[in-house]
Amino acid sequence: MRRKFTIFAVVAMILVAIAACSKDELGVEVIVPQQEQMDSYRVSVDEALRSAETILRAGDRDTRSAARRVKSTELYVAKPATRSNENTEVSFYLINYEDNAGYALVSTDERTTPVYMYAEEGNITTEAFEEVPPLAIFMEEAIANYEA
Question: What are 83-142's pLDDT values in tens digits?
Answer: 655 566 788 999 999 999 999 999 999 888 899 999 999 999 989 988 999 999 988 888
For 31-68, what is each residue's pLDDT tens digit? 444 444 456 789 999 999 999 999 888 877 665 546 78
Asked if residue 27 has pLDDT above 60, the reply is no
pLDDT at 118: 92
Rounded to two decimals, the pTM is 0.66
What confidence tier does 7 reach under pLDDT thresholds 50, 70, 90? low
134, amino acid identity: P
Helix/strand/coil percentages in the chain, nearest 5: 50, 20, 30
Among candidates 82, 76, 95, 75, which has minimal Cα distance to 138? Answer: 76
Asked if residue 78 has pLDDT above 90, the reply is no
